[in-house]
Amino acid sequence: MDDCIFCKIVKGEIPSIKVYEDERVFAFEDINPISDGHTLIIPKAHAENIWEISEEDLAAIHIASKKIAVAIKKAINPDGIACLQLNGRAVNQVVMHYHFHLIPRLPGGPELMMTDWELKPGDMEKIKQIGEKISSGIE
Ligand code: 5GP
Ligand code: ZN
């Protein structure tokens, strides 16, 4: 896609700190890192979100995420790594080219805000109804 910033990164038209690349996938450091080692993994083929991306590219991203997580562990030995992926402007997806975040929490580093939600018991009847509705839509 011509005006997509991440397509430009894949083509080398915009510089990036690349950490990994294969046939389907490109991975690079986020320029606004939430923590050291904050890495983005993207498909080389433009797809906006989880509804558009091919299963093959999705699988390749997840396999790459394991390789990169192992390398992050060796490089900076985080206490944990959050995997995050946003779909749609309503959930603050900013770059409309699918990207999978790996966000390490460093030893002694602050809590990652997106991993720190309060557990409040839900309405079991409602949970069941929604679960059944989703389940019946699986193709
Ligand atoms: P989103 O909220 O869409 O999941 O996150 C988009 C991410 O892309 C942000 O963390 C942002 O810092 C990162 N980002 C946006 N533009 C660029 C860029 O030109 N280069 C790099 N390396 N990261 C970018
Ligand atoms: Zn793109």
Tens of pLDDT, residues 30-74: 999 999 999 999 999 999 999 999 999 999 999 999 999 999 999
Whole-angstrom distance, CA of residue 83 vs CA of residue 103: 6
Q: Tens digit of pLDDT for each residue in 68-122?
A: 999 999 999 999 999 999 999 999 999 999 999 999 999 999 999 989 999 999 9
Q: Return the HEC string of 80-107.
A: EEEEECCCCHHHCCCCCCCCEEEEEECC
Q: What is the pLDDT of residue 1?
A: 85
Most ligand 1 atoms within 8 A of CB, residue of 5, 20, 31, 83 to mutate: 31
Residues 72, 27: Cα–Cα separation, whole Å: 12
Pocket test for ligand 1, best of 6, 32, 38 (most atoms within 8 A of CB): 32
Whole-model pTM over 0.95: yes
Q: How many CA atoms lie within 13 A of 45 on its CB side?
A: 11
**Ligand 1 touching residue 114 (CB < 6 A):** no
* Position in ligand 1 atom list of the atom nearest CA 93: 3
Determine how many CB atoms are found less than 10 A away from the CB of residue 61: 21
**Which value, to the nearest 10 degrees, does the dihedral of the CA atoms of residues 47, 53, 54, 57 take?**
80
Q: 63: Cβ below 6 Å to ligand 1?
A: no
52 DSSP assignment: T
CB 112 within 8 A of CB 82: yes
What residue's CA is closest to ligand 1, atom 19? 5
Residues identified as active-site: 99
Residue 9 has, within 13 A of its CA and on its CB side, a CA count of 25
What pLDDT score was predicted for residue 54?
98
**Residue 26 pLDDT grade (very low, low, confident, very high; cuts 50, 70, 90):** very high
Q: Which domains does the chain possess?
A: 5-136 (3.30.428.10)
> Can you read off the two tokens belonging to residue 53?
């991306």
